[in-house]
Amino acid sequence: MTPVVARTRQELAEARSRIEGTLAFVPTMGALHDGHLSLMRQARRSADAVAVSIFVNPLQFGPDEDFDRYPRTFDTDLEACAAEGVDLVFAPTRDVMYPSEPQVTVKSGPMGEIVEGAARPGHFDGMLTVVLKLLNLVRPDVAIFGEKDAQQLAMIRRMVFDLDLPVEVAGGPTVREPDGLALSSRNRYLSPDERRTAAALSRALHAGADAAADGPEAVLDAANTVLDKAATADPPLVLDYLVLVDPTTFTTISGPRTGPAVLAVAGRVGATHLIDNVSLQLGKEH
């Protein structure tokens, strides 16, 4: 069945008031792929009804980023939502979300300025601002985000904790191509040659995870060996960062250490910024 499509606050309020039972919510920027669909299936298992938002949020894009060329594929997105049994799609315009230039926004704090936040200044402030607005508008019981954007997920959990938001946050596992490349709406920018180079990101994470029992230095060495080779490929992978961080705070892990960690990587192939990460247990066989 086709989902109810709400484009305005009033349409959303009316559709929301007709939903009975619990509601799970999957916020997206559209250009839906199997990663999004797996979050929708998780949402379906978590609640009586499922809502999806489709909104390319200008606030989280830097001036030199790809806001204008970000893929917008609403008709096929709606078909995908229908096939997954989504009940409600909220697809506001920019003017609906931001009727005037916002004066009060969310400040993501120190965690918003490191790792991906250092590569994309202001990104996490804009992301948290729109997520808070979406949560206030949709009022879900549970909101589901992909682990592919691990720092985003950690920051949303922190916002919910710090601001006492009445919502449960759940993470969904990263869906990958057969060669390991994490699905991402931005993958469609890649030429076949760039696509081949991009696969080095997940290969590096895999190599790092395989060395987890030997500690942080071994993890970074193993991943860097793969990335160094990709840096000389044609076209090359231009590394933005490779970091081993605490899963909750995203602060760097160094020296001998055991326990959970996230190995996160970001790089550019051509003009396309791609990110990926893997969770691992340092100092333990996995």
Ligand X SMILES: Nc1ncnc2c1ncn2[C@@H]1O[C@H](COP(=O)(O)OP(=O)(O)OP(=O)(O)O)[C@@H](O)[C@H]1O
- Residues making contact with ligand BAL (CB under 6 A): 60, 149, 152
Contacts of residue 51, Cβ cutoff 8 Å, sequence gap at least 6: 16, 19, 23, 24, 25, 26, 86, 87, 88, 89, 90, 138, 140
Distance CA 113, CA 219 (A): 24
* Choice between 220 and 266, CB closer to ligand X: 266
* Choice between 84 and 149, CB closer to ligand BAL: 149
The enclosing H or E element of 225 equals helix 216-231
What angle do helix axes 9-18 and 123-138 make, rounded to 10 degrees?
50
Residue 146 makes contact with ligand X by CB under 6 A:
yes
Distance CA 6, CA 16 (A): 9
Residue 117 makes contact with ligand X by CB under 6 A:
no
The catalytic residues are 36
- β-strand partners of 169: 143
- β-strand partners of 5: 89
Please tell me whether 273 is known to bind a ligand: no
Binding residue for ligand PAF (CB under 6 A) from 77, 87, 147, 149? Answer: 149
Task: Choose from ligand PAF, ligand X, ligand BAL, none: what does 131 bind? Cβ within 5-8 Å by kind.
Answer: ligand PAF
CB atoms within 10 A of CB 24: 25
Give the per-residue contact string, 112-141, with ligand PAF (x = CB under 6 A; - = no).
Answer: ---------------x--xx----------
Nearest residue to ligand PAF by CB is: 27
Task: Choose from ligand BAL, ligand PAF, ligand X, none: what does 35 bind? Cβ within 5-8 Å by kind.
Answer: ligand X
* Choice between 162 and 193, CB closer to ligand PAF: 162
Q: Which stretch binds ligand PAF (CB under 6 A): 2-10, 15-23, 25-33, 194-202?
A: 25-33
Residue 28 makes contact with ligand X by CB under 6 A:
yes
* Choice between 197 and 272, CB closer to ligand PAF: 272
CB atoms within 10 A of CB 255: 7
